[in-house]
């Protein structure tokens, strides 16, 4: 069995799991789905699904990973052998890896869009009145989309190549802390604007 990497601490593990759970789908698609599928009713069934399906599967993944101490396919193989079950269970792990690549194939496109918006917003600011026009302009420029997609893929490859502790863990901590600081800054700005309004 090859050497396995480990998380450097509990905090990095938690940050990485939060970053994984609160991905682009939760930020980009979830509000739309809530608005078009019943509002609170949709959220209720979403939470039921999390509690009855997603959370147990996540715990099973953690248990298999801790027991197998290897990649997805080999960890399942180790657990299957110990349980005297068929080693064909390894194909479930292989399927998980293939699924990750399929998810990356469209997440990377959205990640490229996000990078394009970050760069453009830094240059010209945010204007909700022309948001759709900006998106249409981006879609009409295959060269820009390809360039930002490439940048996103290079960033992803560099993070993954640095391993768990030096790559994924550090990137997750950085993103989580940056998001927290941005939220605190926005909150302070809002309170400052409210105070200025009251003084006027």
Asked if residue 149 belongs to a domain, the reply is yes
Asked if residue 196 belongs to a domain, the reply is no
Answer yes or no: are the C-beta atoms of 43 and 34 closer than 8 Å. Answer: yes
Query: Which of 76, 81, 80, 73 has its CA nearest to residue 99?
Result: 73
> Could you tell me the CA-to-CA distances from 137 to 28, 117, 128, 130, 131 in Å, in that order?
19, 11, 15, 11, 10
Asked if residue 131 belongs to a domain, the reply is yes
Query: Which of 25, 58, 16 has its CA nearest to residue 176?
Result: 16
pLDDT surpassing 50 at residue 45: yes
Q: How far apart are CA 46 and CA 31, in angstroms?
A: 12
pLDDT surpassing 90 at residue 172: no
Range of 153's domain? Answer: 101-181
Predicted model pTM: 0.68
Indicate the number of domains in the chain. 1
Average pLDDT over residues 28-56: 85
Outline where 69-169 has alpha helix (H): 72-82, 90-124, 131-139, 142-161, 163
Asked if residue 126 belongs to a domain, the reply is yes
pLDDT surpassing 80 at residue 50: yes
Backbone angles phi, psi at 86, to 5 degrees: -65, 135
Asked if residue 174 belongs to a domain, the reply is yes
pLDDT of residue 194: 44
Q: How far apart are CA 26 and CA 35, in angstroms?
A: 13
Percent residues over pLDDT 90 in the chain: 10
Asked if residue 49 belongs to a domain, the reply is no
Asked if residue 195 belongs to a domain, the reply is no
Query: Which of 102, 100, 98, 80 has its CA nearest to residue 89?
Result: 80
């Amino acid at each position: 069995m090859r050497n396995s990497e480990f998380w450097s601490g509990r905090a990095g593990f938690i940050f990485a799991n939060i970053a994984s759970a609160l991905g682009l789908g939760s930020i980009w698609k979830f509000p739309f789905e809530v608005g078009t599928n019943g509002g609170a009713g949709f959220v209720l069934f979403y939470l039921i699904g999390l509690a009855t399906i997603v959370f147990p599967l996540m715990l099973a993944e953690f248990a298999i990973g801790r027991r197998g101490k290897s990649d997805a396919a080999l960890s399942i193989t180790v657990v299957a052998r110990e349980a005297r079950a068929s080693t064909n269970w390894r194909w479930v792990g292989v399927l998980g890896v293939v699924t990750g690549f399929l998810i990356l194939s469209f997440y990377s496109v959205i990640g490229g869009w996000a990078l394009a918006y970050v760069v453009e917003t830094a240059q010209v600011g945010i204007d909700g009145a022309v948001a759709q026009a900006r998106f249409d302009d981006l879609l009409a420029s295959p060269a820009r989309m390809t360039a930002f997609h490439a940048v996103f893929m290079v960033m992803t490859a560099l993070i993954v190549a640095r391993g768990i502790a030096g790559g994924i863990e550090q990137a997750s901590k950085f993103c989580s802390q940056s998001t927290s600081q941005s939220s605190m800054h926005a909150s302070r700005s809002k309170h400052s604007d409210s105070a200025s309004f009251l003084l006027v």
